[in-house]
Amino acid sequence: METEEFVRRIGDWNGAGAGTLGQRLALAIAGAVDAGLLIEGDRLPPERQLAEVLHVSRPTVQAALVELRDRGVLAARQGSGTWVARSAEVATAELAELALGGRGINLAASVPADALQLGDVELSVGDLLAAMPTHGYAPLGLASLRATVVGWLAERGVRGDVDGVLISHGGHGALVDVLGALIGPGDAVLAEPYTYPGLLDIVSALGGAVIAMTNDEHGPRPDELRRLVASRRPAAIVVSPECNNPTGRAWGVDRRAELIDVLAEAEVPVIDDAVLADLGAQTLPVLAADLDAITIGSLSKAVWGGLRIGWVALPKGKARQRVIRRRRHLDLGPSVPSQLLADELLSRLDTQLPARRSLIGSRADYVRERLAAELPSWSVGDRDGGLSLWVDLGLADAEAFVAVASAFGVEVFPGSRCRPDGAADGHVRIGIDRPTPQLDQGITRLVRAWATLRRS
Ligand SMILES: Cc1ncc(COP(=O)(O)O)c(C=O)c1O
């Protein structure tokens, strides 16, 4: 069938609906089959032409055709193209649910799926009046929550003091608080070769440049770090020894000891981004237990990102004064209701972490097993903690796969965006902290997307 005629028969397909373009296109084709506008045996135009005329990517067309083949509406054979195989009655209802209900699966974000982990938390006006009898502004955060953070630090080996703690808008806000005070245009910041992508954005917005260390399987290489400190004279060093995002790896114990010496000699502010520290196999000492480091924490990963509560713990010294002064000038402090909830959640966190860790561990095992069985050419990295798996697809660049997966209704995060140099990278980060049905459906879509990428 001519491409224009086919497009006329499927009609206005790209209307409202929260589903992916591929799902909406599949629904339109199934609808045309249902309505008798396309009948058994009708041949579809070639994928490439369809993509051109419909102004969509080829993976979008492929995703639509795969959906319909899986449901028996279309059939295809190598070399003979694609044709209508049967009436679409059953498929249309299912496709409508997908295309209109928006069942895109987000495995790109390395965060808890939703607020369920909050459990039973309550907050009354009486609680607010008791915590904050006056106007409600506290630029550094509530004193009670800052004291609870001091307790969190103590459990992780650090003797902190309330005056050195400020409550931030999540871990991201904590990085802005600290780096905003310590670096400026032209400054270099050393970070690990794969790092939290938000760090790259923050440093770039401040006019600085992130320089990558060289890592091996145990963490940054001490000799290389020493060399970089001497040659680049960084204004700050940001690391995540307890658990790196995106790799999910912790530094080896011996390596950590060696690096502490190198970092101490560097005489540069060291920031331990310990946002994922609670999600390893056990509670580890943070870097500030052994070094004058700034610690950043957050409830986003252990509990829920929507709280937007994190913290900065600063050792005594010049950096503390600068960070606190900047904060007082630029920010009137986080939401009091969120801080009160956070205080309760943080106070009971340590009793809840074992169950949380074991749930995440079993989700990681589940995803790992399915990937090993269904995508054996992928290589899934070892995981010490965190909310994702770091997967080497065996490609020079994973971006094309990420686009195809998105057309198939599943988002994963490309490794290149975690690299300070922004170079092409064959890894993707796959979020695992999701209920099993979401993981199941997400992996099924990844498998289909991979098969499509390999065919094209
Ligand atoms: C290492 C690291 N730092 C900071 C953040 C930001 O934390 P939040 O979501 O609490 O702003 C994240 C979240 O992905 C992270 O992984």
Q: What is the pTM of this model?
A: 0.87
Instruction: Supply the residue whose CA is at minimum distance from atom 16 of ligand 1.
Output: 245
CA of 23 to the centre of ligand 1 (A): 32
Q: Each residue of 193-225: pLDDT tens digit?
A: 999 999 999 999 999 999 999 999 999 999 999
Contact (CB, 8 A) for 403 and 57: yes
Task: Give pLDDT, residue 78.
Answer: 85
User: Which helix (H) or strand (E) element contains residue 390?
Assistant: strand 388-392
Q: Each residue of 64-114: pLDDT tens digit?
A: 999 899 888 999 998 889 999 987 666 676 677 666 666 689 999 999 998
User: Which helix (H) or strand (E) element contains residue 265?
Assistant: helix 253-266
d(CA 166, CA 356): 26
The CA-to-CA distance between both ends of the chain, in Å, stands at 22
Instruction: Supply the residue whose CA is at minimum distance from atom 7 of ligand 1.
Output: 171
Place of tokens 């829920």: 304
HSE-up (13 A, CA, CB side) for residue 406: 14
d(CA 40, CA 377): 37
Residue 111 alpha carbon, nearest atom of ligand 1: 14
Residue 300 alpha carbon, nearest atom of ligand 1: 10
d(CA 64, CA 142): 52
Residue 172 alpha carbon, nearest atom of ligand 1: 11
With bands split at pLDDT 50, 70 and 90, how would you rate the model's confidence at 166? very high
Q: Which has the closest alpha carbon to 196: 339, 298, 78?
A: 298
Contact (CB, 8 A) for 289 and 158: yes
Contact (CB, 8 A) for 69 and 54: no
Q: Is the CB of 196 under 6 A from ligand 1?
A: yes
The predicted model gives 311-340 an average pLDDT of 97
Q: Which has the closest alpha carbon to 88: 7, 136, 8, 30?
A: 30
CA of 214 to the centre of ligand 1 (A): 22
Q: Is the CB of 240 under 6 A from ligand 1?
A: yes
Q: Is the CB of 252 under 6 A from ligand 1?
A: no
CA of 394 to the centre of ligand 1 (A): 27
Q: Is the CB of 245 under 6 A from ligand 1?
A: yes
CA of 207 to the centre of ligand 1 (A): 21
Res 48 pLDDT > 70 = yes
What DSSP character marks residue 89? H
Res 290 pLDDT > 80 = yes
Task: Give pLDDT, residue 228.
Answer: 98
* Residue of 107, 149, 172 with the most ligand 1 atoms within 8 Å of its CB, for mutation: 172
Instruction: Supply the residue whose CA is at minimum distance from atom 14 of ligand 1.
Output: 110
d(CA 236, CA 187): 9
d(CA 384, CA 380): 13
For the chain, give the percent of residues with pLDDT over 70.
96
Q: Each residue of 354-386: pLDDT tens digit?
A: 999 999 999 999 999 999 999 999 999 999 999
d(CA 13, CA 38): 15
Task: Give pLDDT, residue 1.
Answer: 84
The predicted model gives 9-14 an average pLDDT of 84
Task: Give pLDDT, residue 86.
Answer: 81
Tokens of 364: 């990681």
The per-residue pLDDT of the chain, averaged, comes to 93
Residue 308 alpha carbon, nearest atom of ligand 1: 10
- Poorest-confidence range of 108-122, 337-351, 354-368, 406-420? 108-122
Q: Is the CB of 172 under 6 A from ligand 1?
A: yes
Q: Each residue of 428-442: pLDDT tens digit?
A: 999 999 999 899 999
Burial 219-231 (b: 16+ CB within 10 A, else e): bbbbeebbebbee
- The sheet carrying 388-392 orders its strands as 379-380, 388-392, 427-431, 413-414
User: Which helix (H) or strand (E) element contains residue 209?
Assistant: strand 209-212
Q: Is the CB of 177 under 6 A from ligand 1?
A: no
The predicted model gives 313-341 an average pLDDT of 97
CA of 275 to the centre of ligand 1 (A): 6
d(CA 418, CA 425): 9
Backbone angles phi, psi at 29, to 5 degrees: -65, -45
The predicted model gives 144-171 an average pLDDT of 97
CA of 434 to the centre of ligand 1 (A): 18
Q: Which has the closest alpha carbon to 108: 423, 443, 410, 435?
A: 410
HSE-up (13 A, CA, CB side) for residue 38: 32
Task: Give pLDDT, residue 374.
Answer: 97
Q: Is the CB of 446 under 6 A from ligand 1?
A: no
What DSSP character marks residue 43? B
Q: Is the CB of 198 under 6 A from ligand 1?
A: yes
Residue 173 alpha carbon, nearest atom of ligand 1: 11
Distances (CA, A) of 215 to 164, 236, 259: 31, 18, 12
Residue 244 alpha carbon, nearest atom of ligand 1: 1
d(CA 284, CA 37): 64
